[in-house]
Amino acid sequence: MVNSMIPFSGNPLNRASERRIDQEWIGAKQHEPTTRIWPLWRLKPFLLGGEDGEAASVEAGYLQTPLACDLAPVTAFSIFLGLDEDGAALFALDVASDVDPSAEGPLAGLGHFR
């Protein structure tokens, strides 16, 4: 018998589906101090840890809102991902840049996009 796993089935993220259409709530969550932003550049997520390819050595590179705001204009495309176990909001942010933001600027030396 083949043991298969359903992707994301063990994900503790609360998708907060009942709040997704409430633009006022979403807007307020974007500015809370506990909110974390996950930058994406050219559809590649920002990761913390080595680039050597070992999955155990990397993790999602969530940033605090002030640092993430320096990466993209206010009009940048972002998506509400959900709430973590502590109730903090998580967003994905499109970092539209010609230059890899992990090579220079505020993310230099912190991680990489993969």
Give tens-digit pLDDT for 45-80: 999 987 765 556 789 999 998 888 788 888 889 999
Q: Do the beta carbons of residue 36 and residue 62 sit within 8 Å?
A: yes
The string of pLDDT tens digits covering residues 88-111 is 999 999 998 888 999 988 898 889
Name the burial class of residue 16, with classes exposed (0-12), middle (13-18) and buried (19+) by CB atoms within 10 angstroms of its CB. Answer: middle
Determine the pLDDT at residue 67.
81
Question: What rounded mean pLDDT belongs to the chain?
Answer: 86
Determine the pLDDT at residue 56.
61
Determine the pLDDT at residue 6.
54
Rounded distance between C-alpha atoms, residue 48 and residue 94, angstroms: 17
